[in-house]
Structure formats: C-alpha cells, structure tokens
Amino acid sequence: MSMRPLVTIGIPFLNPGVLLKEAIQSVFCQTLTDWELILVNDGSNDESVAIAQTVRDPRVRLINDGKTLGLVARLNQLGTLARGEYMARMDADDIMHPFRLEKQIRFLQLNRDISVVDTGAFVINQAREPIGIKGSQDKRPSMYEALKWGVILHPTVIARTSWYMQHPYDPAYPRAEDRELFVRVLDSVKIAHLPEPLLFYLFVGNVRLQAFFQSYSSERKVLLRYGPKLIGYSNTIKLWFRSHIKSAALPLLCSFNRQDFVTRLAYKPIDAEQAQKAREVLQYIRQTDVPGW
C-alpha cells in the first residue's frame, strides 16, 4: 500500500450500536484494499465506541474527542482529516458492496472531468433484509427533480477529496446538507451516476418524527434559496406546499402505524432472485474477519 491511501472512507457515528460492525466488515471485504477508514465518534454512549476501539489495523483511525458536533460538522471534519485522493461517504448503519470502491474509483480515474459519482443501492429494512432498490435509473435528475427528490443518494457518494475541501457542507441545512450542497453545485460540477446497487441502505423502518420534521424544514430552506432561479417561482411554490403537506401528514401516518408509507414510494421492490443474490452478498460480508475482533 502506498504511503498515501488511494481512498478515505469516512464514517461519522452516533449510537449505531452493533450495526457499526457490519459497516466496518464491509470496508474490510472490499476488493480494493488501498484505503484508510476514519471512524468519527460524535458523542456515542453505546457499545459502538468499544467496537471501533477493538479494531486492530493501521489503516483504521478512530476520532474520539468526546464532543457531539452534529453530522454536518463531522462531514466537514472528515474532509480535513482525509489523506486519500478520493473520499467515500458512508453511514454507520449501512453496508458497502464488496465492489463499491473498485468500481466507483475506476470510473473517476477514467473520467477525470467528473468530480463526484454516486450509485444505486439495495434498500434494507430493520431486520437487515433486502427488500428494494433505489437509484436504478440511468439518467441524472432534472433541476425540478433535484429540488423535489435530491440530486444524489448521499451514502453512496465518492468524490475527489480536493473537491470536498472546496465545497463544504453548510450547517444551516441540517438533515438536508447533502441536498443543499449538490443543488448548489449542480450547474457547475459534473456529477455522474452508476445505477448498479453498490450499497445496502437502511431506509425502511427508519422513520423518526423529529428528524423528518427537521429534514422537511431544511428542504424548504433549500427550495426558497435556489428554487426561484433554477425552476421558477411557480414550481418552487408547488414544491414548498408539497413539503408542508408531508410535514402535516407524517404525524397522522405515525398514529396509524403507517409511517413507512413515507419511504415506500422512494424505492422499487425487488424480486425473489434479486433478493437472494443480495442476501448472498450480505452473508459474505458478515463472514469477513476484522483484525482485533
């Protein structure tokens, strides 16, 4: 391995529990091995800190400063700590496909004009079972779609580290920091998409009311800041009202235990054959040895 790793994987975490183990295992089973992993504890008080501390590999660094700064601050911190030429996003409750780093970085190496690339993802539920797929489309979103749904699937992003340093996340948009960043650069930066699912994304059964309210509030701030210029006042108002309707409907859905309706429209179900193949990959990842465990 070179003195400077090819890619930095950054995982900020706050009380993910044992789910962090699978995230780390998925790094260790990558076909591309020239990486460093930075685990940033954002004030966890569960077993995840002990899990991170027991990893014994020089490629893994744990940042454990005792502070709770929030995701946006930690994402920007990762950019300053990364030694790799590329930086890979990932959440502590997600799992990377073994080919993820190899395929995304090869794409960036072959396409020097591209700064950022994201991928499709398998959707998994709370039982860690694959049930759907997101981001399987080939085309990039229009400006209207970008403001409605977001530009990228954030946990799947790999970008050139220098690009991240030039384009930090804005703390004024908590839980929509990715939407704001990529809408901000959409007309000036080349962003590519690989439809192949290269991440297992915990999406279903992950609805928390206050978190969603914060997301919708920041979503509306993004709309008001960028919408009029990008899609006009009429379309902006339409999406602004849509966001308010989502905020109003969510408590009602939760009262009837139908909160997963919020996420159901955002992914495609997979058939039995796709699900079985995804389970086989997950099983392979779960059997991966991590030094120190």
pLDDT, position 212: 77
CA distance 156 to 176: 16
Task: Express as a percent the part of the chain with pLDDT over 70.
Answer: 93
pLDDT, position 208: 65
* Structure confidence by residue, pLDDT tens digits, 157-182: 999 999 999 999 999 999 999 999 99
DSSP state for residue 6 in the 8-state scheme: S
Quote the mean pLDDT of the chain.
92
CA distance 150 to 143: 9
CA distance 105 to 179: 23
Confidence of residue 139 (pLDDT cuts 50, 70, 90): confident
pLDDT, position 225: 97
* Structure confidence by residue, pLDDT tens digits, 18-63: 999 999 999 999 999 999 999 999 999 999 999 999 999 999 999 9
* Structure confidence by residue, pLDDT tens digits, 5-16: 999 999 999 999
Return the residue matching tokens 């379309």. 235
Torsion, CA 22, CA 23, CA 29, CA 34, rounded to 10? -160
Contact (CB, 8 A) for 97 and 198: yes
pTM assigned to the model? 0.93
Among 69-73, 250-254, 276-280, 288-292, name the one with the lowest average pLDDT. 250-254
Residue 141 has pLDDT above 80, yes or no: yes
pLDDT, position 7: 98
Residue 59 carries which side chain, given as an amino acid letter? R
Confidence of residue 250 (pLDDT cuts 50, 70, 90): confident
Residues across the chain: 293
Q: Could you tell me which residue, 258 or 219, shows the higher pLDDT?
A: 219
* Structure confidence by residue, pLDDT tens digits, 257-287: 665 666 666 789 999 999 999 999 999 999 9
Query: What would the two tokens of residue 179 be?
Result: 């939407």
Q: Measuring CA to CA, how many Å separate 245 from each of 143, 149, 157, 178, 213?
A: 21, 15, 29, 22, 11
Tell me which H or E stretch contains 153.
Answer: none
Residue 1 has pLDDT above 50, yes or no: no
- Taken in order 96, 76, 141, 227, the sign of the CA dihedral is positive
pLDDT, position 249: 81
Instruction: Write the burial class of residue 214 (CB in 10 Å: 0-12 exposed, 13-18 middle, 19+ buried).
Output: middle
- For 42, phi then psi, to 5°, come to -105, 45
